[in-house]
């Protein structure tokens, strides 16, 4: 991969809830965190992987015939993948007539990516733009910077969704090209954070402090996804809210309801999801309780999920 290329696992047009207006969200692959609940597990690893969607498969065995070293096997009526096998995966994926087998990501040059983004330029005119998401977009920092620069050259509104587990240098470099920053603050307690996400949260909290004291602090929205038993506790929301409001009293803070849709994606990658029994969405009343906790801890600008 050359430096200016970006590994992208999805480009979602008409994305209407990652910022203002009608947007195109670009999902960059690779993430340093390993959140147990990750809603985009295909975005975790930086390299290209093969996805297998069983419900699209017609069991024609074209893939089995295309492989050389038993990378795909048909056993007991099921297709089994050995992703580590030495195979020409391009050929195997290409042989699948239904796209049940597909690569989870594509490598784009900046100009290719801009071409995709500009397809919806006529929609951005009414307040939309581009959102860079992931994975962790800052894991491909040079490409990210080039992309943001290119967007601003075209006058396209930019937003980013980041874990903030990022080297400050890159954050500072990117900031001038960002119109909106969605920054996660998942868990305040350091050891709990380490346990649930696999990384320490010092860098994250320090970056939050930096963002909430910089000139663009009003363009920052801090978000906590509610994960039952992990982030969705009274203590955690309380601690995060107090921490944020102590830095900047007018901080914009959003609490996101649990996303039960992620579970399906784990099966495509033969990965285990953190919940055996998928929890339900929090009810409106339960959500109000969380809002209340945040409010009591000093948050004025609470963004209620739309």
Partner 1 sequence: MNNRIETLKNKMLSQPRYVSIEQALIITRTYKEHEADSIPMKRAYSLYNALHELEIGIEPEELIVGNRTKGVRYGVVFPESGISWVNDELETISTRAQDRFLVRPKDIETFRNVILPYWKGKSLEDVLRLRAGNEIDAISKVVKINQKDHAQGHICPNVKEWLEKGPSILKNEALSHLESCLPEQKDFYRSVVLVMDGVKDFMMRYHDLLIHESLLNPNHASDMKKVAEICKNLSQRPAQTFHEAVQSLWFLFVVLHMESNASSFSPGRLDQTLYPYYKKDIEELRINDREALEIIECLWLKFNQIVYLRNQNSAKYFAGFPIGFNIAVGGIDEKGNDFCNELSHLFLQAQEDLGLPQPNLSVRLHEHTNDELLKHAVRVVSKGSGMPQFFNDKAIVHEMEKMGISSKDAKDYAIVGCVELTTQGNNLGWSDAAMFNMNKVLELTLNHGRCLITNAQLGPDLGSLTTYKTFQELEQAFQRMMLFFIDKMIPCCEEVEKAHIDILPTAFLSGVIDDCMEKGMDVTQGGAHYNLSGIQMIQVANLADSLAAIKMMVYDQKRIRAKDLEEALKDNFQGQEVMRQMLLNRVPKYGNDVEWVDQLGAKWAQFFRDTLRSYTNYRGGPYHTGMYTVSAHVPMGHNVGASADGRLSQTPLADGGLSAVYGRDLKGPTAVLKSVSRLNDDCTTNGGLLNMKFLPEFFKTEIGIQKFCSFLRTFVDLEIPHIQFNVVRREDLLAAQKHPEQYSSLTVRVAGYTAYFTELAGDLQNEIIARTSYDNI
Residues that bind partner 1 (CB under 8 A): 12-17, 21-22, 39, 53, 55, 58, 60, 62, 97-99, 119-120, 122-123, 125-128, 256-261, 263-264, 267, 278, 280-281, 305-306
Q: Which is nearer to partner 1, 15 or 224 (CB)?
A: 15
Q: Which is nearer to partner 1, 200 or 305 (CB)?
A: 305
- Cβ-in-10-Å burial (0-12, 13-18, 19+) of 182 comes to buried
Q: Which is nearer to partner 1, 125 or 234 (CB)?
A: 125
Nearest CA to 220 out of 209, 231, 235 is that of 209
- Minimum distance from residue 95 beta carbon to partner 1 (Å): 10
Q: Which is nearer to partner 1, 247 or 256 (CB)?
A: 256
- Minimum distance from residue 126 beta carbon to partner 1 (Å): 3
- Minimum distance from residue 262 beta carbon to partner 1 (Å): 8
CB atoms closer than 10 angstroms to residue 234: 11
Q: Which is nearer to partner 1, 68 or 99 (CB)?
A: 99
Annotate the chain with DSSP letters as a single string.
--TT-EEEEEEEEEE-SSSSSSEEEEEE---S---TT-S-GGGSSSS--EEE-GGG-----HHHHH-SSSSEEEETTEEEE-TTS---HHHHHHH-SSSSEEES-EEE-HHHHHHHHHTTHHHHTTT-EEEEEES-GGGSHHHHHHHHHHHHHTT-EEEEEE---S-HHHHHHHGGG-SEEEEE----SHHHHHHHHSS-SHHHHHHHHHHTTSTTGGGEEEEEE--TTTT-SHHHHHHHHHHHHHH-TT-EEEEEPP-GGGHHHHHHTT---S-SSPPPPPPHHHHHHHHHHHHHTT--EEEPP-
- Minimum distance from residue 57 beta carbon to partner 1 (Å): 10
Q: Which is nearer to partner 1, 50 or 166 (CB)?
A: 50
- Minimum distance from residue 300 beta carbon to partner 1 (Å): 20
- Minimum distance from residue 122 beta carbon to partner 1 (Å): 5
Q: Which is nearer to partner 1, 123 or 177 (CB)?
A: 123
- Minimum distance from residue 170 beta carbon to partner 1 (Å): 27
**Tokens 């597909």 sit on residue:** 102
Q: Which is nearer to partner 1, 209 or 223 (CB)?
A: 223
- Minimum distance from residue 50 beta carbon to partner 1 (Å): 16
């Amino acid at each position: 991969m050359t430096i200016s290329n970006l590994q992208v696992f999805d480009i979602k047009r008409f994305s209407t809830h990652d910022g203002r207006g009608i947007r195109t969200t670009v999902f960059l692959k690779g993430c340093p965190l390993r959140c147990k609940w990750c809603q985009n597990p295909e975005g975790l690893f930086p390299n290209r992987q093969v996805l297998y969607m069983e419900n699209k498969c017609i069991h024609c065995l074209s893939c089995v015939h295309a492989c050389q070293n038993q990378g795909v096997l048909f056993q007991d009526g099921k297709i089994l993948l050995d992703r580590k096998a030495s195979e020409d995966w391009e050929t195997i994926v290409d042989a699948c007539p239904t796209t049940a087998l597909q690569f989870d990501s594509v490598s784009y040059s900046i100009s290719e990516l801009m071409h995709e983004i500009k397809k919806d330029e006529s929609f951005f005119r009414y307040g939309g733009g581009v959102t860079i998401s992931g994975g962790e977009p800052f894991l491909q920092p040079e490409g990210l910077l080039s992309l943001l620069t290119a967007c601003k050259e075209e006058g396209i509104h930019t937003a980013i969704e980041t874990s903030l587990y990022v080297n400050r240098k890159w954050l500072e470099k990117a900031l001038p090209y960002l119109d909106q920053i969605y920054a996660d603050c998942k868990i305040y307690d350091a050891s709990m954070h380490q346990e649930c996400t696999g990384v320490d949260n010092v860098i994250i909290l320090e970056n939050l402090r930096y963002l909430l004291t910089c000139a663009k602090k009003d363009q920052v929205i801090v978000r906590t996804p509610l994960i039952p038993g992990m982030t969705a506790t009274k203590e955690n929301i309380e601690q995060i809210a107090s921490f944020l409001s102590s830095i900047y009293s007018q901080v914009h803070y959003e609490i996101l309801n649990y996303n039960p849709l992620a579970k399906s994606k784990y099966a495509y990658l033969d990965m285990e999801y953190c919940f055996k029994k998928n929890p339900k969405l929090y009810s409106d009343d339960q959500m109000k309780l969380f809002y209340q906790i945040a409010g009591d801890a000093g948050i004025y600008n609470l963004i209620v999920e739309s």
